[in-house]
Amino acid sequence: MCGQSKDGVCFVTKEADCPTPATSVLPDVIAPVDILTEPKVQPVRSLEWPTLVKRIANRKVSSDRGVGDTLERLFSYVGGRQFKRVMEMLSVECGCGDRQTWLNNAYPYPPVWQPTVETIPKPTSDRLVITIAVGEKYSNILNVSQPLMEAYAKKCNADFIALTNETQRWWGLEKFRVKAFQEHYERILFLDADVLIKPETPDLFEIVDPQRVGMHNDNPYNPGHPGMEVGNEGWLRAGRSGLLNSQGVFLSSYDEPVCFNSGVVVCSKHHDIWNGMTKPFPQHHCDEQFWIEYQAQRYPIQQLTYRFNNQYWFGERFRKQCPVSHIIHFAGCAGLDRLALMKQELKHWTE
């Protein structure tokens, strides 16, 4: 029962294991800015900084979090660190740390992707299941989901890695750390930490064609589908264009009937989709997903059915689909106790 459009896109299906190959319908034509009709560029929000602060900011390096870090580093070149040591010998608090923190908070630099050097254990397989959980909140969530992920990786003859150390200044950028592992593995399955994967889940490495990127198309579940209208502009259209424009990408249309979810992604070594944003961006809650989706559309995309990424924000359909879904994804639990919901779902499995 695979509903297929004339352009070959497989939308939500009732069969679990009907991963119909489909090419992405995101446009691959990038129009120069000057030929676009009134492009709606959403500038990254910034403060009107004093001239002196701007001059200091011009001396920043990639590791600086804000003006305070830049100023501290510049002072170190002219004896600032020696001054600190003398003050410490006199048991006098110089207050530099407080001023540095205050300046960082008052004049922060927008986060951009900082490439990381990962410690990669020697692979025992050419397959990898990987997840990322940074901070106490997600560490607690990982305590619930990790045993299931590890068991699934073992079932699929794959290695398992959980990244838990913080490396980025915006949480969504952590996801791009997957890139460092691609040269060590032929196939990768990325899972968000808030995913519960049932023991009977089929091997996604076998289901998804190695030449294709496997992702779920959320668009049919979006409010107001297919228009997705919120006021005069759909949230998906506005969010996607805001992110892409911030990176210097101006597409000719934002009306594509797709919204690929980055919480469950199957890819191969040659799929170059994990490059982080290198320019300031709006920091919308889906920005990392929009950027992964944009990079993935350069390759054929195999759309996974809901049974491989059944998400909480689907509402009533989520609850109806849970009994027959393989992967339960607790995305969209804003204001709710995500950890409690996950534990409750696990309890249902044993009843």
Cα atoms found within 13 Å of the Cα of residue 181, Cβ hemisphere only = 29
- In CATH terms, the superfamily for domain 21-37+120-350 is Spore Coat Polysaccharide Biosynthesis Protein SpsA; Chain A (3.90.550.10)
At 73 the pLDDT is 81
Residues in the chain: 351
Structure tokens given for 238: 């506005």
Q: Supply 103's token pair.
A: 């300046």
**What was the pLDDT predicted at 344?**
94
Q: Tell me the pLDDT of the chain (351 aa) as tens digits.
A: 344 333 333 333 333 344 444 443 433 332 332 323 333 434 444 446 788 778 888 887 767 778 788 878 877 776 666 656 655 654 656 666 677 787 778 888 778 888 888 889 999 999 999 999 999 999 999 999 999 999 999 999 999 999 999 999 889 999 999 999 999 999 999 999 999 999 999 999 999 999 999 999 998 887 654 444 444 347 788 888 889 999 998 876 555 678 899 999 999 999 999 999 999 999 888 999 999 999 999 999 999 999 999 999 998 999 999 999 999 999 988 778 999 999 999 998 887
DSSP-derived secondary structure for 199-213: TT---HHHHS-TTSE
Q: Are 262 and 218 in contact (CB under 8 A)?
A: no
Q: For residue 72, report the phi and psi dihedrals to the nearest 5 degrees.
A: -60, -40
pTM for this entry: 0.76
Residues forming CATH 3.90.550.10 domain(s) in the chain: 21-37+120-350
Maximum CA extent, the chain: 79
C-alpha 83/C-alpha 87 separation (Å) is 6
CA distance 251 to 248: 10
For residue 226, say if its preceding peptide bond is cis, omega within 30 degrees of 0: yes
In 3D space, the residue among 233, 221, 230, 229 whose CA is nearest the CA of residue 313 turns out to be: 221
Element counts in the chain: helices (H) and strands (E): 11, 12
Per the CB < 8 A criterion, the answer to whether 141 and 195 are in contact is no
